[in-house]
Amino acid sequence: MKNSRVERVKRVLLSNEPILQKLLFLVCCGIFVYGAIRARLGHQPHNAWPYYMMRFFRWLGLRNEFLIDVQNPLVPGKTLRLSLDLRRNMHVRYFFARSTIDETAIRMAGESMTNSECFLDVGSNSGLFALSIAQTYPMKSVIAVEPVPDNAKTILQNIELNALTNIRVVQSAATLQSGNLTFYVHPFHDGGGGVDRPSSYQTMGLNFPVPEAPEAITVSTVTLDLLVDRFDSVVIKIDVEGHEHEVLHSGEKSFAKGIVKFVILEVSAHNGPWVLKFCEKFKLIPTYFDGSSVGSLKIDDVSADIILRPVLVGQVSSAASATR
């Protein structure tokens, strides 16, 4: 790991990137080391350093967007060009890591696209899942669903940078009913947020108080069924800050028809039991992964990224045991 970081630093410093980007990358390295030392001393969570980098860049007043190239996890030797805003903490992570971060999850979703028509990215954020799969499968449809205007704008910029023509951006929140709802924007979490009024802001293991009038916007809503109604086979990724079960229920017709071939989603202790009940109802096999291994999901162990697959012939007993 240490050698890979050293190689990354060498690669950036020897690249053709503008000198300002190289200097900012060195600043990231310095803050990363500072954060690692503070974490080792127990003064902060080990993953808090991107937040401090973001605050530093906001203090500098940087508004420029920086361009970097990252490896597409699905295609060796193929790169994606990303537009990053270093005032947003997840973008700082991409800038420092020079990778898409969620590489294992992207690979799993991408491998499931071989026999599917469409990839649906619900809670797309900056669009890394959608971009990676669209570049890998240029003849297949990709839909990126993202309610936050700044995030949707970033996705559109990245689509243009990579000359992709098979992605459609839907600036809406996926939920049970079509219409409008209030969406609370998280000031520190990369422009994300959720439909629940926050009691505190959390990012990278740190907690912050919420003002009396937290930032809120009105967004349109759309159901999963409506998004995929013209396809016969789809792969879906869902990351919507605790409301993944509502997105699943908004696609009950699609699951009943059997067009959903693979789902990757984030679950918590709050929505995990709902997800497992959904799996039982529609005969889905839930398994979890932690970036390196995949195993059976237990009812008392729902706090992770998981994948859902339809039951195949001969797997009914396995599905039943996996949801007990």
Summarize the confidence of residues 140-152 as an average pLDDT.
Answer: 94
Residue 15: φ, ψ to 5°: -80, 180
pLDDT of the residue at 321: 47
Q: 293: pLDDT confidence band, cut at 50, 70 and 90?
A: very low
pLDDT of the residue at 269: 75
pLDDT of the residue at 123: 92
pLDDT of the residue at 295: 53
pLDDT of the residue at 300: 56
Q: What domains sit in the chain, N to C, each tagged with a CATH number?
A: 1-101 (no CATH), 102-266 (3.40.50)
pLDDT of the residue at 112: 93
Distance, CA of 92 to chain centre: 15
Q: Kindly report, residue by residue over 237-247, the tens digit of the pLDDT.
A: 998 877 888 99
pLDDT of the residue at 130: 97
Q: 278: pLDDT confidence band, cut at 50, 70 and 90?
A: very high
d(CA 116, CA 231): 9
Q: Model-level pTM?
A: 0.83
pLDDT of the residue at 118: 97
d(CA 191, CA 104): 23
Q: Kindly report, residue by residue over 34-67, the tens digit of the pLDDT.
A: 777 777 777 666 667 777 777 787 777 766 678 8
pLDDT of the residue at 26: 82
Sorted by sequence, the CB contacts under 8 Å of residue 302 that are 6+ apart come out as: 267, 268, 269, 272, 273, 275, 276
Q: Answer with the residue of higher pLDDT: 139 or 38.
A: 139
Q: Are 157 and 83 in contact (CB under 8 A)?
A: yes
The DSSP code sequence of 72-128 is -TTSTT-EEEEEEETTSHHHHHHHHH-S-S-HHHHHHHHHTTTT-SEEEEET-TT-H
Summarize the confidence of residues 271-294 as an average pLDDT.
Answer: 77
pLDDT of the residue at 93: 79
Q: Answer with the residue of higher pLDDT: 230 or 15.
A: 230
Sheet holding 118-122, edge to edge: 167-170, 141-145, 118-122, 234-238, 260-266, 305-310, 284-289, 294-296
Residue 70 has what DSSP assignment? E
pLDDT of the residue at 32: 76
pLDDT of the residue at 190: 55
Most confident among 181-190, 250-259, 305-314 (mean pLDDT): 250-259
Output the average pLDDT for the chain. 81
pLDDT of the residue at 191: 57
Q: Kindly report, residue by residue over 185-224, the tens digit of the pLDDT.
A: 877 665 577 777 767 676 766 677 777 767 788 999 999 9
Summarize the confidence of residues 3-32 as an average pLDDT.
Answer: 72
Identity of the amino acid at 85: D
pLDDT of the residue at 316: 47
pLDDT of the residue at 299: 54
Summarize the confidence of residues 82-107 as an average pLDDT.
Answer: 82
Summarize the confidence of residues 266-270 as an average pLDDT.
Answer: 79
Q: Which residue has the tokens 């000198």?
A: 19
